[in-house]
Amino acid sequence: MEPIQNYISFNSNKSILELQYSISSEIYKMENLKLELEFYLILLDKPLFESYTINLYERLTDFKKEAKGINESRIHLLESLYSHANHISNKIECDNIACDNFFIKQHDEIELTVFNFHKTISDFKFRLFQYLESVLIN
């Protein structure tokens, strides 16, 4: 099965409840990701690695910096999600097509940002796990 490479919006016909649910789901995932990133940082600080590995310290430091950067992005994205969750109820007040289209465009933009963030996280995890597998003490 091919992984999804590009974002596609299906929001134009969603109800307010569906939009609220999707944003709430993303907020939940972003909040839980904090624990996962903290675990990676703890793991990277433990003496679990083959000491003779070339550039071990540098690679571990790079992964730690990347995890911290991802966490900062997560925090900013979470703030945007909270803000957007508060604006979802405004869609009810839209009484014309232009208003609906503007709101859907905003929703699509935040979903695209979330989509790209998840791709970044997946790439980070893939590279981290691949590297850890090669340097962990047997």
Q: Is 96 helix (H, G, I), strand (E, B) or coil?
A: coil
Tell me the whole-structure pTM to 2 decimals: 0.86
Report the pLDDT averaged over residues 41-50: 93
* pLDDT higher than threshold 70 for residue 16: yes
Ranges of each domain in the chain: 16-135
